[in-house]
Amino acid sequence: MLLLHFIAEERIARAVADGELDNLPGQGRPLDLDDEDPLWPEEVRMARRILRNAGFDDADLVSALRPASTRRTRSPS
């Protein structure tokens, strides 16, 4: 994992130096992290943030994160 982390940091540093991260949407504004629970694992917080940025709302997130065996299904009418 250390090698992967090092490679990622190097690529980010190179992109910053080359100006590839300039003029991105939201540049200069603080991140909206108010609804993130700092006690959740980092992977869960990142996944929720990615899904919310893709347009999913909290109801979609809950159903997507719930194990398939516990999801409600509609009974045929």
Which residue in 22, 21, 25, 52 sits closest to 36, CA to CA? 52
Q: Which long-range contacts (CB under 8 A, 24 or more apart) does 54-62 make?
A: none
**What phi-psi label fits residue 45: left (phi over 0), alpha (psi between -120 and 50 degrees) or beta?**
alpha
15 in Cβ contact with 21 (< 8 Å): yes
pTM of the entire structure? 0.40
The pLDDT, as a whole number, for residue 17 is: 96
The pLDDT, as a whole number, for residue 8 is: 94
The pLDDT, as a whole number, for residue 73 is: 58
Is 49's pLDDT higher than 70? yes
